[in-house]
Chain A
Amino acid sequence: MKSLFKPKPRTPVDVVRQTRDLLIYTDRSPETKESKREEKQMLELSKNVRELKSILYGNSESEPVAEACAQLTQEFFRENTLRLLINCLPKLNLETRKDATQVVANLQRQQVQSRLIASDYLEANIDLMDILIAGYENTDMALHYGAMLRECIRHQSVAKYVLESQHMKKFFDYIQLPNFDIAADAAATFKELLTRHKSTVAEFLSKNYDWFFAEYNLKLLESTNYITRRQAVKLLGDILLDRSNSAVMTRYVSSRDNLRIVMNLLRESSKSIQLEAFHVFKLFVANQNKPADIVGILVTNRSKLLRLFADFKTDKEDGQFEADKAHVVREIAALEPKGP
């Protein structure tokens, strides 16, 4: 039946097996030596990876066939092909790396008998994440490993592992790597980790509140790098405004230090940062149980804040923003200093 649609001599299983054999060979061979034979093997490997890709994504002549994809996926994860592929990736040429990345990305979504078997595989081989994350330290590999990583953390268990690992701390530095493309890729992964799986994120933030937000404030919100601050304040807003993180939000907006940092961001000359900072600032103001020191700061800065908001506008008309602003202004204007 299948051969009707894809009249090919090799089955998807054959392609996976041959790829695996070639990967084993490549994995063993020393890195530097470049004999004719190895070159040929490499070419063969490239072709096989491309073949895998075209089975999974289809090509100009045909759409992907569900059954072929399932067979491929099953065979791929039946043995340790993914580990081999990740290990050998630095030895492959650029085009094959890109193909391999796309293959790995696709496999994370393939269901075999309505199960994501990639997730099972990764749970059993979770240390692969260590390799992928460390990829951010390697300029040549960062974008490939980074893209694979982002696909893998679609699985909740994998995201949980990464969140709770020591790697999480490294992201604060990866985000600020000098290479823009790599830093931006790390930032995208960081954002995905902190927004995708709600319950996992909420649990992580509650357990790791102290160190996480200390780092977040110091390294990201108070960074000297414009783009870091801009992305960080945006993400902070996304995190705090998410319902599942309400406990974390309440805690965050009760801290005087946090308020100081956010108010500094409000004063920035960049419109984008100001605007994102406002969405965090409004949470401090809207808090029904404002601690005395928060009220104190707001009262002390009342006239400055009101003046700031008086000509605070979005580029495009934004009803929600105007409503929020009016609310904040009313709230601040009505504040009375608390306690002694």
Chain B
Amino acid sequence: MKLSRLNSLRRVQSGELIMKFPDDQDESKRPQFPLDSSCYKIIDEIGVGVSAVVYKAICIPMNSAVVAIKAIDLDRSRADFDDIRREAKILSLLSHPNILNAHCSFTVDRRLWVVMPFMSAGSLQSIITSSFPDGLPEPCIAVVLREILHALTYLHDQGHLHRDIKAGNILMDSNGSVKLADFGVSASIFEANSTQGVPISPSSTSMMLKEIAGTPYWMAPEVIHSHNGYSLKADIWSFGITALELAHGRPPLSHLPPSKSLLLKITRRFRFSDYENQQNSNNKNKFSKGFKELVASCLDQEPSRRPCADKLLKHPFFRNCKGPDLLIKTVLQGLPSVEERFKLGKLQRLPSMKMEEEDEEEIEKEIIKQRRISGWNFKEDGLELEPVFPGENCEEDECSIIKQVRFGGESIMEKGSRDSSECCSGVSDLSSPTGNGRRGGGEAEEEAVDRESIMGGLVALKRSLDEQRRAVGSLIELIEGEKGGEMSREEQIGRLMEKMTRELENERKRNFELEMELEFLGLQISAAHNTGAA
């Protein structure tokens, strides 16, 4: 009885809490933005993605209010139209001070224009890249995280998952307000983090890799594992990763290519020490116990043990949390404008990244596809993502390649899990894994052998090969980086570029070979198919 009263009390409280916001910004009281492109004047480009561009613009009839317009090419966007509709709807029905929603959306020929408030400081990710490469100070992190938890509490209460929480999707305004953005229409279509630049330090090759990868670093293990079994708690994991990203300037394991990051993530818990390989040891005690506890609780392998968003808000870490003023003072002072940062990033990318960019698009598309389609495409990738089994003896790349080729059409999950564990072991040695690998391949499902799955497997294989190349590259990178501590920056960059050029060349060759093989196998399969059908 006592319990029940408590429960209903709490319900009442949360009810009131929620009711407060809509009163301020009830839909009917929101200004109606015009649904005609001629009412807007585009000022600058502030972001590009695979099938979308983001502009800074002014809305002339609304006293020239500054807005951000995301223009999504509907013809190029692969997303199912129903998805776009559903997400546009979510976007216009959400109303919360920590969620960036749309003023309005309308079509302009083949493009969907989503008009949103302009967040003048841009994404946290771009702020970090430009001004805080080693991470934000802890009090600032607290403010940002608290605001995001408010947004998550609201979202989760409505049964929505964000599914893409990361610093790149957290935007800040000049008044220090923090909003979660980019769910819905934009979730995976647009990446605001194009500002990552040219390598500055040896470990920053990983920065580029990170960008290529897009989202995987933030994905929860259960999301990687299966397409049907994850819930709101997956957002909590990503939230934890985002906390680390804010603290260190990049997500954990980002010195590894995405597939390895996914892999290691499944095998062990994160520790702050994961960073210490690359960072000076004087950083060791940079963070409070409360912060470490908070992050650790979010990064529990077992989703049910991760606290929910409103519980996290009560964590002692937020007890002395400051207001948004702190962000204005500490973070926004002297920050280049979003436009400048975007342009700078673009310029820096141009000379060295020309080729990579294409790859990036492809991978990004791949990610979009997987996120949208949900089906077993996702599992397919799962073959690279299964846990390490500490006892197992492992060899390097070549062996696993052969094996992966072999598993091609058969039980993808089972074999894949072993293969990937093998090929990753080299990497995990380096970062001394705690190795509490759990076997997660239990949910393997038998997929009927069909042409499509084989082709899919091959494509995934090809990608994983590419990534392994990069992994080795970045390993060499790391080791060399340690040795060459005395080198001047120019020298380092020069060598880096040289190496990358070589790598690129090799990769091209490799790609070509694999493509040929793919083609050949495809032909064989279709031949087999035809004879089978006949």
> Contacts of B308 on A, CB cut-off 8 Å?
60
Q: Does A26 touch B at the CB level, under 8 Å?
A: no
B390 to chain A, nearest CB (A): 36
Q: Of A43, A178, A187, A234, which contacts B106 at CB under 8 A? A: A178
B7-41 contact mask (Cβ, 8 Å, vs A): 1 or 0: 11001100110110111001110001001100000
Q: Does B443 touch A at the CB level, under 8 Å?
A: no
Q: Does A335 touch B at the CB level, under 8 Å?
A: no
Tell me whether A225 and B107 are in contact in the complex, defined as CB-CB below 8 angstroms, given that A180-B112, A231-B81 are known contacts. yes
Tell me whether A179 and B22 are in contact in the complex, defined as CB-CB below 8 angstroms, given that A94-B95, A139-B32, A185-B85 are known contacts. no
- Asked whether, in the complex, the Cβ of B26 is within 8 Å of the Cβ of A93, the reply is yes
Tell me whether A140 and B106 are in contact in the complex, defined as CB-CB below 8 angstroms, given that A7-B1, A43-B19 are known contacts. no
Smallest Cβ-Cβ distance to B32: which chain A residue: A139
Q: Does B92 touch A at the CB level, under 8 Å?
A: yes
Tell me whether A98 and B74 are in contact in the complex, defined as CB-CB below 8 angstroms, given that A139-B32, A187-B85 are known contacts. no
Tell me whether A94 and B32 are in contact in the complex, defined as CB-CB below 8 angstroms, given that A7-B1, A184-B88 are known contacts. no
Smallest Cβ-Cβ distance to A6: which chain B residue: B4
A140 to B26, CA, bound (A): 10
A187 to B27, CA, bound (A): 22
Q: Of A43, A181, A226, which contacts B74 at CB under 8 A? A: A226
A158 to chain B, nearest CB (A): 22
- Asked whether, in the complex, the Cβ of B82 is within 8 Å of the Cβ of A98, the reply is no
A91 to chain B, nearest CB (A): 11
A93 to B104, CA, bound (A): 19
B189 to chain A, nearest CB (A): 15
Q: Does B75 touch A at the CB level, under 8 Å?
A: yes
- Asked whether, in the complex, the Cβ of A270 is within 8 Å of the Cβ of B85, the reply is no
Q: Which A residues between 173 and 205 are near B, CB-CB below 8 angstroms?
A: 178-181, 184-185, 187-188
Tell me whether A95 and B22 are in contact in the complex, defined as CB-CB below 8 angstroms, given that A8-B8, A181-B89, A226-B110 are known contacts. yes
A234 to B93, CA, bound (A): 27
Q: Does B105 touch A at the CB level, under 8 Å?
A: yes
- Asked whether, in the complex, the Cβ of A98 is within 8 Å of the Cβ of B93, the reply is yes
Q: Of B7, B35, B110, which contacts A270 at CB under 8 A? A: B110
Q: Does B84 touch A at the CB level, under 8 Å?
A: yes
Q: Which B residues between 66 and 93 are near A, CB-CB below 8 angstroms?
A: 74-75, 81-82, 84-85, 88-89, 91-93
A61 to B8, CA, bound (A): 12
- Asked whether, in the complex, the Cβ of B85 is within 8 Å of the Cβ of A143, the reply is no
Smallest Cβ-Cβ distance to B3: which chain A residue: A7
Q: Which A residues between 127 and 145 are near B, CB-CB below 8 angstroms?
A: 139-140, 143
Smallest Cβ-Cβ distance to B310: which chain A residue: A60
A301-320 contact mask (Cβ, 8 Å, vs B): 1 or 0: 00000000000000000000
> Contacts of A8 on B, CB cut-off 8 Å?
4, 8
- Asked whether, in the complex, the Cβ of A272 is within 8 Å of the Cβ of B107, the reply is no
Q: Which A residues between 44 and 62 are near B, CB-CB below 8 angstroms?
A: 46-47, 50-51, 54, 60-61
- Asked whether, in the complex, the Cβ of B75 is within 8 Å of the Cβ of A271, the reply is yes
Q: Does B158 touch A at the CB level, under 8 Å?
A: yes
A51 to B12, CA, bound (A): 10
- Asked whether, in the complex, the Cβ of B88 is within 8 Å of the Cβ of A180, the reply is yes
Q: Of A47, A185, A230, A272, which contacts B89 at CB under 8 A? A: A185
Chain A residues with a Cβ closer than 8 Å to the other chain, count? 35
A98 to B157, CA, bound (A): 12
Smallest Cβ-Cβ distance to A101: which chain B residue: B93
A272 to B51, CA, bound (A): 15
B413 to chain A, nearest CB (A): 24
- Asked whether, in the complex, the Cβ of A180 is within 8 Å of the Cβ of B12, the reply is no
Q: Of A43, A94, A230, which contacts B27 at CB under 8 A? A: A94
A223 to B284, CA, bound (A): 64
- Asked whether, in the complex, the Cβ of B104 is within 8 Å of the Cβ of A179, the reply is yes
Q: Does A339 touch B at the CB level, under 8 Å?
A: no
A8 to B88, CA, bound (A): 37
- Asked whether, in the complex, the Cβ of A184 is within 8 Å of the Cβ of B19, the reply is no
Smallest Cβ-Cβ distance to B308: which chain A residue: A60
A49 to chain B, nearest CB (A): 10
A258 to B23, CA, bound (A): 51
- Asked whether, in the complex, the Cβ of A179 is within 8 Å of the Cβ of B35, the reply is yes
- Asked whether, in the complex, the Cβ of A143 is within 8 Å of the Cβ of B92, the reply is yes
> Contacts of B112 on A, CB cut-off 8 Å?
180, 227
B299-317 contact mask (Cβ, 8 Å, vs A): 1 or 0: 0000000001000000000
Q: Does B109 touch A at the CB level, under 8 Å?
A: yes
A50 to B10, CA, bound (A): 13
A295 to chain B, nearest CB (A): 33
- Asked whether, in the complex, the Cβ of B105 is within 8 Å of the Cβ of A180, the reply is yes
> Contacts of A271 on B, CB cut-off 8 Å?
75
- Asked whether, in the complex, the Cβ of A226 is within 8 Å of the Cβ of B7, the reply is no
A180 to B36, CA, bound (A): 11
Q: Of B12, B105, B158, which contacts A98 at CB under 8 A? A: B158
Q: Which A residues between 9 and 64 are near B, CB-CB below 8 angstroms?
A: 9, 43, 46-47, 50-51, 54, 60-61
A178 to B37, CA, bound (A): 11
Q: Which B residues between 451 and 468 are near A, CB-CB below 8 angstroms?
A: none
B7 to chain A, nearest CB (A): 7
- Asked whether, in the complex, the Cβ of B19 is within 8 Å of the Cβ of A46, the reply is yes
B97 to chain A, nearest CB (A): 13
> Contacts of A98 on B, CB cut-off 8 Å?
93, 158
A322 to chain B, nearest CB (A): 11
Q: Of A139, A179, A188, which contacts B85 at CB under 8 A? A: A188
Q: List 19 A-B contacts (CB under 8 A).
A: A43-B16, A47-B12, A60-B308, A61-B7, A93-B19, A94-B93, A95-B22, A98-B158, A180-B88, A181-B91, A184-B88, A187-B85, A226-B75, A226-B110, A227-B107, A230-B74, A234-B81, A270-B75, A271-B75
Smallest CB-CB A-B distances: 5 pairs: A184-B85, A178-B35, A180-B105, A7-B4, A94-B22
Residues of A at the B interface (CB closer than 8 Å) are: 7-9, 43, 46-47, 50-51, 54, 60-61, 93-95, 98, 139-140, 143, 178-181, 184-185, 187-188, 225-227, 230-231, 234, 270-272
Known A-B contacts: A50-B15, A226-B107, A227-B107. Give 8 more (CB < 8 A). A50-B11, A143-B92, A178-B36, A180-B88, A181-B105, A184-B81, A184-B89, A234-B81
